[in-house]
Amino acid sequence: MIMKNKFFLALTFSFVLCFLCSFMAVQRKIQQSWIRINLLGYPTESIKVAVWASKTGELPAKFEIITKETNQVVYTSTNIKSFSHYGPFSQTARLNFSDFKSKGSFYLRANGILSPLLLINNNVYEGAADFCLQYMRQQRSGFNPYLKDSCHTHDGFVLYGAKAGLKDSTHIDASGGWHDASDYLQYSTTSANATYHLLMAYRDFPKVFNDQQLANGLDGKNGIADVLDEAKWGLDWLLKMHPLKNIMFNQLADDRDHISMRIPKEDSQYGKGFERPLYFITGEPQQRGKFMNNTTGTSSTAAKFTSAFNLGSVLFKGRDRAYAQTLAKKAKTAYIFALQKPGVTQTASVKSPYIYAEDNWVDDMELAETSFNFGREKADQKKIKLALNYARQESTTPWLQKDTAAHYQYYPFINLGHYEIARQDLKDRTAINYYQEGIKQVWNRAKNNAFYRGVPFIWCSNNLTVSFAIQCHWYATLSGDKTYSELEQANFDWLFGCNPWGTSMVYGLPQWGDTPADPHSAFTHLKNYPINGGLVDGPVYTNIYKGLIGIKLNDSDEYADFQSDLAVYHDDYGDYSTNEPTMDGTASLIYLLAAKEAQAYPLADHKTYSYGAIIRGDSTQKKIYLVFTGDEYADGAETISKVLAQEKVKASFFLTGNFYRNPNFNSLIKKLKNDGHYLGPHSDQHLLYCDWNKRDSLLVTKTGFETDLNKNYQAMANFGINKEAAGYFLPPYEWYNQTIADWAKAQGLQLINFTPGTRSNADYTYPEMGKSYRSSDEIYRSITAFNETKPNGLNGFILLLHIGTDARRTDKFYNRLAELITYLKRADYKLARIDN
């Protein structure tokens, strides 16, 4: 009987086990389709596209958005763009829900398949850039604030220093800086690039960053944004790597570091106590062990030093003048070092063939030239000319044109110099056009798949993805052309889950989503320490993965269903090719996240809006926008143009189609454009859009509005001005309502109007108008009185004047423009174009 019971129990157990296995297999087969989204979420006004990915031929006819709490359907759409196979999927599609702008927590649903949690609000990126700074602090060498301990304090001893009169094994203090990745090598080229990105992030988006850490990385406030503290950590190490004008080092330690995975401490495997080797930049190929690099010169690394030092000097000038002066001095000596022997400096290895095989250097020199204009009120045109000469030699970063490249062959992965040229010379579109050409190259590959993936799956593909998204962002910002905005968003979305694997590529971000949990890192593998904010390498071509040395997965592959002959990604400690975080990639991501956070806050810039129009810029900044409107008169044009040129002030001119078509004004318009002023629309026929007494009562139809406005732009096109370059629109008579603002927005335009409070806009009045007339003296006094009596003065003011007035006004206010500009400058106001 006992034997029978045992047999029965065993049979039952076997049956249950088989049933469970069968059930699990069936369940696995059931899930053949997925919806991929950006796990971080989407701002309300952003482009929002999910990707449908199916292993069958299934394609939804529609999709829905349902609320998290109630499962209520709040949106239904058929805006589906179908694609064929990609990677492991036989059917893919783009599900566009950009027109859904409600805030909240939702799910996408299509054919019964639910997406991960979908967040829509303008706070989704808040704090993300600061979050990633955690990883940068964790990578610190010297004192490490995460470990609250020090490591590598004895660095280092010189190799190849004979050119500078340094004997091999000479000790040079090189402690500090950042470990490059999960190993503990330190490279000047990646550190300088990372430092520059951090500095640039603060320069471009200072309001994004907070102060929660001390300079040493420990908790506390020191009155300096944490991103600047981190950038200074990088600058301090770069200063050590360039201690004298004739001495510069390219790397600290080498691949002998790879003896084991360990928490950073002191290393003794290099044969000189706890010191690690410092590789002097000779400009010649260097060999340790059996591997020779292909170094050809000194430019690529030294030029990166120059740019970082120059930008650091500008940003620290008001905080530490002596430090800023040191950086400025070092920028000059680094620049001279870069010119010693034009060419690239590659890293050196001893035990393995893997190095940073950088092949380009003119992009570094281009940025270095522009960096000498940082902080200058007027750019040195000679430096811009030199930068443009380098830019022409490499107009497009080479990897953008290729399906593959060697490890760090074209570095940085974005041409930073193009951005600075375009910022410094608003009249020259050469650099902007170069950006566009590179984007087109990637778009030609990306447009054929649902993920809009055109970035090659080479080692550190995520770093390339970040850089490409930044390039798209810069192109749109500089040109006003939004053609590639969806491509930009797709690359950003890829990093946070809208990819075949459905995972974020950033450790711990977002905390509620699927993110790397088992990266190739000693911190996580040995101690279960989180590496918050670290960007992992990302997917590689399957053929690259199969050819790498020493890779072996430690656990079963949770993404097995999504691997393909195209590319692989593993969240596994054993895969150093796809799942190792990098310091420089994370620094670049910090810039991108800062840009996205700033972009998600349309009202966080302290602007004032009325009926959908911006009527005042940032009221916390001492910046004023001089705006001139014109229709039939231009008697003040010569005076205005001359004064603006003499005072070196850029202004904005909003002119009607009548004005643009007037042959008497042709030479004037060309001069205004050539002088770098903003030229925008003011309607074609100077229409009155709505009733003076009943503002809600429209006097034009939508069709009439659009037709008239398009004619205005057609007239502007004769002068080479398109809608993308002139996205701000000032309505005729400065009179409009919310509907007009909405119609303008649908055209991709932002309505603006003058800031109320002064009588500057009354400079067109004449005595015959009775009580409405305002003299020039009265107008001038209204401006100065507002500045001197209001808490924020004229901060952010859009000060509207007319380019010409009726002959019956003899007291022309434009004759006092020079006096007004002098007053504003003495009050420390910066006068800028409306788009700056």
Place 14 in a pLDDT band, splitting at 50, 70 and 90.
Answer: very low
Partner residues linked to 801 by β-bridges:
628
Say yes or no: 224 and 94 in one domain.
Answer: no
Tokens of 699: 């006097």
Place 290 in a pLDDT band, splitting at 50, 70 and 90.
Answer: confident
Say yes or no: 93 and 180 in one domain.
Answer: no
Q: Are 50 and 36 in contact (CB under 8 A)?
A: yes
Tell whether the model's pLDDT for residue 21 goes beyond 80. no
> What pLDDT score does 602 carry?
53
Say yes or no: 220 and 197 in one domain.
Answer: yes
Long-range contacts, 691-694 (Cβ 8 Å, 24+): 692/735
Q: Cis peptide before 796, with omega less than 30 degrees from 0? A: no
> What pLDDT score does 151 carry?
96
Say yes or no: 58 and 13 in one domain.
Answer: no
**pLDDT tens column, 701-717:** 999 999 999 999 999 99
Tell whether the model's pLDDT for residue 112 goes beyond 70. yes
Place of tokens 């398949």: 113
Say yes or no: 550 and 645 in one domain.
Answer: no
Q: Are 300 and 361 in contact (CB under 8 A)?
A: yes
Tell whether the model's pLDDT for residue 627 goes beyond 70. yes
Q: Cis peptide before 454, with omega less than 30 degrees from 0? A: no
Indicate the residue among 120, 151, 173 that finishes a domain. 120
Q: For 220, which DSSP code?
A: S
The answer to whether residue 416 is domain-embedded is: yes
> What pLDDT score does 811 carry?
96
Indicate the residue among 71, 98, 120 that finishes a domain. 120
Q: Are 40 and 510 in contact (CB under 8 A)?
A: yes
Place 25 in a pLDDT band, splitting at 50, 70 and 90.
Answer: very low
Say yes or no: 730 and 710 in one domain.
Answer: yes
Tokens of 345: 């400096």
The answer to whether residue 836 is domain-embedded is: no
> What pLDDT score does 252 carry?
97
Q: Where are the beta strands (DSSP E) in 276-346?
A: 277-280, 287-288, 291-292
Say yes or no: 410 and 549 in one domain.
Answer: yes
**pLDDT tens column, 793-815:** 999 999 999 999 999 999 999 99
**pLDDT tens column, 527-555:** 999 999 999 999 999 999 998 878 889 99
CATH number at residue 97: 2.60.40.10
Say yes or no: 592 and 614 in one domain.
Answer: no
Min mean pLDDT across 168-172, 453-457, 697-701, 747-751 is at: 747-751
Tell whether the model's pLDDT for residue 133 goes beyond 70. yes
Tokens of 446: 């990306």
Helix (H, G, I), strand (E, B) or coil at 535: strand
- For 552, other C-beta atoms within 10 Å of its C-beta total 7
Tell whether the model's pLDDT for residue 28 goes beyond 70. no
CATH number at residue 735: 3.20.20.370
> What pLDDT score does 35 carry?
98
Say yes or no: 141 and 114 in one domain.
Answer: no
Virtual torsion, Cα 806, 810, 813, 815, nearest 10 deg: 120
3-class SS letters over 766-816: CHHHHHHCCCHHHHHHHHHHHHHHCCCCCCCCEEEEECCCCCCCCCCHHHH
Instruction: Tell me the C-alpha distance between 194 and 588, whole Å.
Output: 7
How far CA 570 is from CA of 250, 406, 520, 551, 657, in Å, comes to 32, 21, 10, 11, 59
- For 739, other C-beta atoms within 10 Å of its C-beta total 17
> What pLDDT score does 23 carry?
40
Say yes or no: 51 and 142 in one domain.
Answer: no
Place 20 in a pLDDT band, splitting at 50, 70 and 90.
Answer: very low
Instruction: Tell me the C-alpha distance between 42 and 65, whole Å.
Output: 14
- Which one-letter amino acid corresponds to residue 356? Y
Min mean pLDDT across 107-121, 575-589, 611-625 is at: 611-625
Q: What are phi and psi of 79, to 5 degrees?
A: -75, 80
Over residues 292-311, the mean pLDDT reads: 96
Which residues, 6 or more positions from 518, have their beta carbon under 8 angstroms from its beta carbon?
A: 524, 525, 554, 555, 571, 572, 573, 579
Place 329 in a pLDDT band, splitting at 50, 70 and 90.
Answer: very high
Percent above pLDDT 70 for the chain? 96
CATH number at residue 443: 1.50.10.10
Instruction: Tell me the C-alpha distance between 790 and 787, whole Å.
Output: 6
**pLDDT tens column, 769-784:** 999 999 999 999 999 9
Q: Which domain holds residue 617?
A: 608-831
How far CA 663 is from CA of 670, 683, 804, in Å, comes to 12, 18, 16
> What pLDDT score does 10 carry?
43
Residue count of the chain, please give it.
836
Tell whether the model's pLDDT for residue 12 goes beyond 70. no
List the alpha helices (DSSP H) in 656-767: 657-661, 666-674, 702-717, 738-746
Tell whether the model's pLDDT for residue 107 goes beyond 50. yes
Average pLDDT, the chain: 92
Tell whether the model's pLDDT for residue 1 goes beyond 80. no
Min mean pLDDT across 247-256, 486-495, 606-615 is at: 606-615
- Which one-letter amino acid corresponds to residue 212? Q
> What pLDDT score does 378 carry?
84
Q: For 407, which DSSP code?
A: T
Q: Show the CA angle centred on residue 14, arms to residues 12 and 20, nearest 5°.
A: 100
Place 29 in a pLDDT band, splitting at 50, 70 and 90.
Answer: low
* More confident call, 336 vs 404: 336
The answer to whether residue 326 is domain-embedded is: yes
Tell whether the model's pLDDT for residue 5 goes beyond 60. no
Tell whether the model's pLDDT for residue 694 goes beyond 70. yes
Q: For 78, which DSSP code?
A: -
The answer to whether residue 504 is domain-embedded is: yes
Instruction: Tell me the C-alpha distance between 345 and 359, whole Å.
Output: 8
**Structural domain tally of the chain?**
4
Q: Are 174 and 237 in contact (CB under 8 A)?
A: yes
Nearest to 126 by CA among 215, 63, 29, 41: 41
> What pLDDT score does 605 carry?
54
State the DSSP string of 703-735: HHHHHHHHHHHHHHHTTT--GGG--EE--GGG-
Say yes or no: 161 and 222 in one domain.
Answer: yes
Say yes or no: 311 and 454 in one domain.
Answer: yes
